[in-house]
Amino acid sequence: MLPEHVDLCQRVYDNARAARGLENDAMNPVAALVLTLYRHGVHEESELLRRTLMALDESS
């Protein structure tokens, strides 16, 4: 991944955690979720965040 791709994933991770009030800890699945979606071709930041939040809502 290029640095700008890492930055995009970091922003989505931070925004998703903030939107759902999640702590930044090792048991938090948000990072893995963001990277999985990115690897599956979701590269638009708003769409990546939307899908991340949707997946988090489904898992709760």
Task: Tell me the pLDDT tens digit for each residue of 31-42.
Answer: 999 999 999 999
Per-residue pLDDT of the chain (60 residues), as tens digits, is 899 999 999 999 999 999 998 887 766 789 999 999 999 999 999 999 999 999 999 876
Specify whether the CB–CB gap between 11 and 45 falls below 8 A: yes
pTM of the model: 0.88
What is the model's pLDDT at position 26?
64
Q: How many CB atoms lie within 10 A of CB 4?
A: 8
Cβ-based neighbour number of residue 47 at 10 Å: 12
What pLDDT score does 29 carry? 86
